[in-house]
Structure 1
Amino acid sequence: MANRTKVEGVELGRTYSVCPVCLERLEARKIAYGESICLEKECSEHGPFKTLIWDGPPAYADWARECAPARPDACASPVDRGCPFDCGLCADHLQKSCCTLIEVTQRCDLGCPFCFASAGEDPKDDPSLGTVRGWLQTLLDSGGPYNLPISGGEPTVRDDLCSIISMAGEMGFVFTQLNTNGLRIAREDGYAKKLRQAGLDCVYLQFDAVRDEPYEVLRGRPLWREKQEAVLRCAEAGLGVVLVPTVVPGVNDGEVGGLLRYAFDHLPAVRGVHFQPVSYFGRYPGMPDAPRHMTLPALLRAIESQTDGELRAEHFHPSGAQNAYCGFNASFLLLESGEIRPMGAGGGCDCSAEAARKVRGYVARRWSPPKAVADCQCACGGVDTGALDAFLRRVQTHSLAVSCMMFQDAWNLETDRLRQCRLHVVAPDGRLVPFCAYNLTATNGRTLYRPQEGRGDD
């Protein structure tokens, strides 16, 4: 009988996390077992927890980037209990906002088994237009305008959604994004055009697969036909579309390549694919003792293997202006020949205030509908620039942004990462709360910040 040698882990560092059962703050250790990294912590009441957070290649250390602080100009909460309990933002938060999300309803017309917001569970009245205007003014007063995702619940259940979009534009928000399941866009003639006329730039479309079966598991019913129709309607209206798959191991992690092929086939309407490996927030089926998370390296490997190497792991780099372990991005150009080429190269992480401004601009450019290439205004001396103009037009219309956001839940939360978050949610009282803290959910459904019974006006 062969001897089995126990693999001893090597401690890489320490941080703070929470107990998934009671959400108490715990010290946590990052332990390396070869190329696999686990977050290990122990609650005095609920015992030990061990969660896989990395399984390279690439190596965990090689992915790291320094991220210098660019603290918020003003803080709304004092530091008392420590991260993640003092959000507002507090004086210990290290980064300014880049993208600020407002939730305009807790109602939903779908009721997905997987839902960050537990939408549709005893929702209260929608916030009034006056309340929404107050949130937007708070964002302007805190350093905005920022990129503005309008979310919920399902925002399209509000018949005054176009008024909200128009109001944001009138107040100075230059990029508005609608987070939606796309059902109303698909079924209602002219609705996408109304959204565009109101000033909407981008539809951030829930889009988990290119066949019905994964939707039946993740969303409770087949939706493939409706998703395709929503993309078509957005294309007709001149709206940029970003496909947003929630990737769940064993459900749709084999759909990665098909989703990317669909995106390339539907340029220029589709502007990007933004993968979101599942995080156990809000509502999800069952309550596993050790939920399965798809790691960042596993997603990179899936992209490479399922595209037959056309998109390779080495093409991707950490997202700028945030913690390196929060995600990745890359842009690709589809040539007329059908060849796919990576655009640009990965650089270092710049977390300065100027970097945040550049990231806001990058997202707005990449996710908005393409604009026509302007006539040349350079002093080219009459040189024939036809080939260059054709290339620039191709870049405008046939480039695809591929990115990922690795959200943190109660099992894999690291407060070091959370303190560097630039994606914030406007709480009902107007405070800004990092997205992962806002959605943090205990095994019994208790949250720290998200209202438990829907959101209404005070």
Structure 2
Amino acid sequence: MTQTNSQSDRENMEIIRTTTSLCPECMEHVPAEIVVDPKTNWVMMYKTCKDHGEFKDKLSINSEEYKWQQRFTTEIGSTVNNSTKPETVSSGIKKIDKGCPYDCGLCSNHKSAPNICLIDVTNRCNLTCPICFANASAAGYVVEPTFDQIVQIMKHFRSMKPIPAVLLQLSGGEPTMRDDLPEIIRKGKELGFTELMVTTNGVRFAKSPELIRKCKDAGMNAIYLQFDATDAPEVWKKIRGVNLWPLKQKVIENCRKVGFFGIVLVPTVAKGINDNQIGNILDYARDNSDIISGIIFQPVSLTGRISFEELMDLRYTTSDLKKAINEHTGDAIGQFYPIATSAKMTQLLAWFDEMPTFSMTSHNDCGFCTIIIINDKNEFEAIENYFDITGIMKWSNKVWDMIQKREIPKPTGLLKGIDLSKFGVLYDKIGNFIDDMTSLGYRQIMKAYYFAGVARY
């Protein structure tokens, strides 16, 4: 965010919405406008502090897509009447004083409970990366909670009612620096976390397939692997200080060797340094999709005082990322969806399997997701080629809302026009549903009803 000395460039700009932001100088609440710059078609934020003047920053390079995100999130309605806010927690709900972001922590303003218990198990690291999200080792001394303290943190997150955290992410520093990492993972599994992830640079996993095996056997489901490029030594040196490409390949090889199939690549994207590697990373994930399940791109965060010209040289938004993905794949990926639009669907699917009904309710500007299909020719395809995603989301929301009201569906209206014989086992289940609906539990009724409806899409 940079300061501007004139408001003349805001004339004739379309206002998308207004919001509240922070002054980067005094950190006080200030009013802000999200607008479209007609000269560039960029979406910009302008905000004004009574003491420090006006500031502006870029949110998106594609105003039409940005506005679609706002409309789509509202249209889908995934966050409407969808509070999963914590009611109780072992340490108590934090009292509100000045409000967000000053009273950071679980307070009554939260609309959803935390899904992820993320613990920095150490600030030690075996790399000295020029770009580091965690700013590891900056303290100048070791900060490392004991095993018992980590267990206490886990229990705190699992104590939340009515919905506890279901995902455990162990980070740092470099979490594999701890020799008791498998024991920490095992304890997390015992406490009821359903997904256990380790965020790592891969140095120790590259050296020791046995460590991967121990963590896997303890319950590790996913490795979030730092992965900023493929075979580009100069890029690695700029971001990590050393060429890590051979090491990353070794991690992949070792995971394949021990039968671990849950790698998620996590590239840090820095404009002008490795934004030209996005296509290579996509191709690498495709070619190793037997053990790589996804990619989480993380554009570099920019903070502190900076001129507008410097900011524009460095700022890399999610819209820049989408553009790069589309250019590499020839627009084969399809639509990107705000994460929160899946909120009710994730709760519904978890409820069907008698799991905690977690939901991701992040703001629609904060991230996007999609599912990429790799066809028999090893080509990227859009999931929309196979499913009507918007239709499935709307149907999921409708069924979840029915469940919240304990409504019983009327099967005849839903099933009209559907040839159930095409759906195998589902046909038998729906048949039982029609013949003797009262013999099924409510969960089974709604599950059958839901998947019969999904067949339309």
Q: Work out the CA distance in 2 between the residues paired with 1:191 and 1:58.
A: 48
- How many residue pairs match? The answer is 351
Q: Which moved more, 1:40-49 or 1:87-96?
A: 40-49
Q: 1:102-127: CA deviations, max 9, x gaps?
A: 11111111122222221112233410
Preserved CA contact (<8 Å) 2:44 2:56: yes
Could you tell me which of 358, 361, 364 is aligned with 1:324? 364
Counterpart in 2 of 1:90? 107
Q: Which moved more, 1:177-186 or 1:142-151?
A: 142-151
> CA 1:99–1:125 in 2, change beyond 3 Å: closer, same or farther?
closer
Preserved CA contact (<8 Å) 2:22 2:30: yes
> CA 1:13–1:351 in 2, change beyond 3 Å: closer, same or farther?
farther
Q: Work out the CA distance in 1 between the residues paired with 2:148 and 2:424.
A: 44
**Aligned-pair CA distance for 1:164:** 0.4
Q: 1:45-66: CA deviations, max 9, x gaps?
A: 5443211001215432211113
Q: Work out the CA distance in 1 between the residues paired with 2:184 and 2:116.
A: 17
**Matching of residues 185-200 of structure 1 within 5 Å:** 185-200=205-220
Does residue 308 of structure 1 match 2:330? yes
Structure 2 residue runs of 5 or longer lacking an equivalent are 1-7, 344-360, 402-422, 429-457
> CA 1:234–1:189 in 2, change beyond 3 Å: closer, same or farther?
closer
**Aligned-pair CA distance for 1:295:** 2.0
Supply the RMSD in Å over aligned alpha carbons: 2.8
> CA 1:183–1:288 in 2, change beyond 3 Å: closer, same or farther?
farther
Counterpart in 1 of 2:277? 255
Could you tell me which of 40, 46, 52 is aligned with 2:58? 52
Could you tell me which of 96, 112, 115 is aligned with 2:129? 112
Q: 1:1-45: CA deviations, max 9, x gaps?
A: xxxx96632333222222334433322221221331111223455
Q: Percent identity?
A: 32
Does residue 275 of structure 1 match 2:288? no
Counterpart in 2 of 1:134? 152
Counterpart in 2 of 1:13? 17
Q: Work out the CA distance in 1 between the residues paired with 2:366 and 2:234.
A: 29
**Aligned-pair CA distance for 1:145:** 4.1
Q: Which moved more, 1:315-324 or 1:206-215?
A: 315-324
Q: Work out the CA distance in 1 between the residues paired with 2:100 and 2:18.
A: 14
Q: Which of the pair has the greater relative contact order for Cα pairs under 8 Å at 6+ separation?
A: 1
Q: Work out the CA distance in 2 between the residues paired with 1:346 and 1:324.
A: 17
Match of 2:242, SS state, is coil
Q: Work out the CA distance in 1 between the residues paired with 2:378 and 2:16.
A: 44
Structure whose residues are more often strand by fraction: 1
Counterpart in 1 of 2:178? 158
Q: Work out the CA distance in 2 between the residues paired with 1:309 and 1:334.
A: 14
> CA 1:237–1:49 in 2, change beyond 3 Å: closer, same or farther?
farther
Match of 2:316, SS state, is coil
Preserved CA contact (<8 Å) 1:101 1:148: yes
Which amino acid in 1 is paired with 2:276? Answer: G
Match of 1:61, SS state, is helix
Match of 1:305, SS state, is helix
Which amino acid in 2 is paired with 1:37? Answer: V
Q: Work out the CA distance in 1 between the residues paired with 2:388 and 2:137.
A: 43
Counterpart in 2 of 1:438? none
Match of 2:371, SS state, is strand
Structure whose residues are more often helix by fraction: 2
Counterpart in 2 of 1:404? none
Q: Which moved more, 1:340-349 or 1:14-23?
A: 340-349
Does residue 167 of structure 1 match 2:187? yes
> CA 1:58–1:98 in 2, change beyond 3 Å: closer, same or farther?
farther
Question: Runs in 1 of length 4+ with deviation above 6 angstroms?
Answer: 349-352
| Structure-2-length-normalised TM-score | 0.71
Preserved CA contact (<8 Å) 1:26 1:42: yes
**Matching of residues 40-439 of structure 1 within 5 Å:** 40-56=46-62, 58-64=64-70, 65-66=73-74, 67-68=79-80, 69-74=82-87, 76-121=93-138, 122-142=140-160, 143-210=163-230, 211-239=232-260, 240-280=262-302, 288-290=306-308, 291=311, 292-311=314-333, 314-319=334-339, 320-321=342-343, 322=361, 323-343=363-383, 344-347=387-390, 378=425
Preserved CA contact (<8 Å) 1:145 1:172: no
**Aligned-pair CA distance for 1:287:** 6.2
